[in-house]
A and B are shown apart, each in its own frame.
Chain A
């Protein structure tokens, strides 16, 4: 398996623009996570899906952020409109459905909003 695949790897956009980050989890993994990493706050969970259903979105910063998982092999994280403070590295991770199992992380998307 190729692992968790994220795209794009890097994104530079202007404030106010819509940004869409994409993730393909490992086949057969039932759980998918979106994390954000910044120097100030470290790694933060944004949203957790189980079997394509959002279970916990309490970490989504505000209404400008939305995430979808239309099927088991694809998820998106959208920011509209983007702001400079959204600049961070966004990671997608997946794991098998069993609790307390290791998660597999993608390479991340480095987002810069200017």
Chain B
């Protein structure tokens, strides 16, 4: 079993839909990251959080430490949101190591 599991693996949505991507982890963590990777492009850090909720524009990330679960929400999705979204966690014994999920590939159709 992977230490960081994401669901779904693939997601297709219509423009304007509300999207949720889930991340569950089985290890203790000091922080959780959500990353975005566009096709053929680099990786962008969207959020780093260790508790509660953060919001940037149409993106919202939440984390429940007790349940070892995080969600990434996209409101009013747009085709430019099409990308791979990667969840990663910092284990508590290492401030620099990241344990990565396998990613969720999102396609938003116009």
The answer to whether A and B interact is yes
Residues 13-60 of A at the B interface (beta carbon under 8 Å)? 31, 33, 42-43, 45, 48, 50, 55-56
Closest B residue to A92 using CB positions: B42
Q: A42-B100, A42-B102, A56-B96 are in contact. Are A100 and B30 (CB under 8 A)?
A: yes
Residues 63-87 of A at the B interface (beta carbon under 8 Å)? none
Say yes or no: B86 contacts A43, CB within 8 Å.
Answer: yes
Say yes or no: A91 contacts B42, CB within 8 Å.
Answer: yes
Say yes or no: B44 contacts A55, CB within 8 Å.
Answer: no
**Residue A102 at the B interface, CB < 8 A?**
yes
Contact of B43 among A31, A50, A55, A91 (CB under 8 A): A91
Say yes or no: B44 contacts A105, CB within 8 Å.
Answer: yes
Q: A45-B97, A48-B96, A55-B96 are in contact. Are A100 and B43 (CB under 8 A)?
A: no
* Chain A window 74-114, contacts with chain B (Cβ cutoff 8 Å), 1 for yes, 0 for no: 00000000000000000101000001111111111000000
Q: Which residues of B contact A108 (CB under 8 A)?
A: 41-43
Residues 27-70 of B at the A interface (beta carbon under 8 Å)? 30-31, 33, 35, 41-45, 48, 50
What is the CA–CA distance of A43 and B35 in the complex, to the nearest angstrom?
A: 12
What is the CA–CA distance of A31 and B21 in the complex, to the nearest angstrom?
A: 29
Chain A interface size range: 20 to 34
Say yes or no: A107 contacts B42, CB within 8 Å.
Answer: yes
Q: Which residues of A contact B30 (CB under 8 A)?
A: 99-100
Say yes or no: A102 contacts B45, CB within 8 Å.
Answer: yes
Q: Which residues of B contact A55 (CB under 8 A)?
A: 96
- 18 more A-B residue pairs beyond the given contacts A31-B96, A91-B43, with a C-beta to C-beta distance below 8 A: A33-B96, A42-B100, A42-B103, A43-B100, A45-B98, A48-B96, A50-B96, A56-B97, A99-B30, A99-B95, A100-B95, A102-B48, A104-B45, A105-B44, A105-B45, A107-B42, A108-B42, A108-B43
